[in-house]
Amino acid sequence: MEISTSFTQRIKEELCDLPFDETRDKSLLSSFVRVNGNIVFAKGSLKLVLKTENSKIAKYVYSLIKSLYPEVNANFTFRKVMKFYKNIEFLININDGVDHLLKDLEIDFLDTKIPYNLTDKEQKIRGYLAGLFLCTGSCVDPKSSNYHLEVYTNNAGFSEAVLKLIKKVKDASFDFKVIKRRANYVVYLKKSDQISDFLAYMDANNSCLEFENVRVNRDYANISNRLLNMDTYNYHKTIAKGEEQVDDIELIDKWLGIKNIGNEKLRELCFLRKENKDSTYSELADLLSKKIGSTVSKSNINHLFIKIKEMAKGYRHEN
């Protein structure tokens, strides 16, 4: 049986399929290790552990480490973990060269600053943000009406640094915000068009197209529903207004007689409204124009009905 993947997973796997680019990928690796890395002291030496539940992300990060730092001793393992359900956790263990790796990637786990040398160009910023998304990012499926994209960290200062980095983006404008959620600080985006732009900015172009197709189709459906609701509302409004006008006309007919109205337009409109209770002002304007042989506008129909209402009000007041 084929297992369906989430939209977030498809984005992340697309990022893992991007061709190798040392400029971008070094920044990507830096942000991934900065958020995901755990330092372990074992037998008097430093060990760096990276973990993820996505095998493709694990293989991708492992391949980046081996490509960028062939001298570093890293191995790839996995283990079963017990959560609400059984799952597999993939581990990248770096046993030697940890100091060299962290120094070159400019990572200081106690510092909240984002390294300038790894984000001083647009391609580096793309990589740094893509690394964050690979690590802790998520995006609600566009089939949901609740558009939402986020990355999170466990450090308030670093989250603010991420916001500042996003503001440095020249190719697009993103209105990200930060909120505290339990022990984490979530950097999130709610605007659908900006989510689409952000996916494209990270070079997740297929995911961007998928998001846009669903979004456009939904927006079209929403517009169609709004127009239908508006038409229904206007129709009921026209019916109610027409019945009210017919009541006024019947009162005038009772006390004066429609045939005795001197104004031709007013007289013929009274006859037409009684025969066409659900017609709009535009439709009545066309009917009256044909009836009297001269052009009558929609606004003229409105003024005539105001006169009819005033006449009916006078008869009601007298009686």
Residue 157 pLDDT > 90: yes
> Given a cut of 50, is residue 2 above it in pLDDT?
no
Among the ranges 61-65, 263-267, 291-295, which has the highest mean pLDDT value?
61-65
- How far apart, in whole angstroms, are the C-alpha atoms of residue 208 and residue 9? 13
In angstroms, what CA-CA distances link 140 with 80, 90, 143?
27, 24, 8
> Please, what is the average pLDDT of the chain?
88
Q: What is the mean pLDDT of residues 35-57?
A: 88
For the chain, domain boundaries: 7-203, 234-318
Could you please report the per-residue DSSP string of 262-294?
A: S-HHHHHHHHHHHH-TT--HHHHHHHHHHHHTS
**What is the rounded CA–CA span in Å between residue 292 and residue 281?**
16
Average pLDDT over every residue of 41-48: 81
Could you tell me the CA-to-CA distances from 19 to 15, 135, 193, 210 in Å, in that order? 9, 19, 26, 21
Percentage above 70 pLDDT, the chain: 92
Give the pLDDT of residue 251.
Answer: 87
pLDDT at 3: 43
Q: Which residue, chain included where needed, has tokens 């409204």?
A: 273
Q: Where are the alpha helices (DSSP H) in 74-155?
A: 98-104, 122-136
Per-residue pLDDT, 40: 87
Torsion region of 189: left, alpha or beta (phi above 0 gives left; psi -120 to 50 gives alpha): beta
Confidence of residue 277 (pLDDT cuts 50, 70, 90): confident
Q: How confident is the model at residue 60 (pLDDT cuts 50, 70, 90)?
A: very high
In the chain, which ranges are E strands? Answer: 38-42, 45-52, 73-82, 86-96, 138-139, 149-153, 177-181, 184-189
The answer to whether 130 and 12 have CB atoms below 8 angstroms apart is no
Residue 84: what pLDDT?
A: 58
DSSP string covering 16-43: HTSPP-HHHHHHHHHHHHHHH-EEEEET
Query: What is the pLDDT, as a whole number, of residue 1?
Result: 34
pLDDT higher than 70, residue 229? no
- Torsion over CA of 208, 210, 213 and 219, rounded to 10 degrees? -80
* Chain centre distance of CA 68: 36
With a threshold of 0.75, does the pTM exceed it?
no
- pLDDT higher than threshold 90 for residue 142: no
Q: Judging by DSSP bridges, how do beta strands 73-82 and 149-153 pair with one another?
A: unpaired
Q: CB–CB of 148/137 below 8 Å?
A: no
Superfamily of the domain at 7-203:
Homing endonucleases (3.10.28.10)
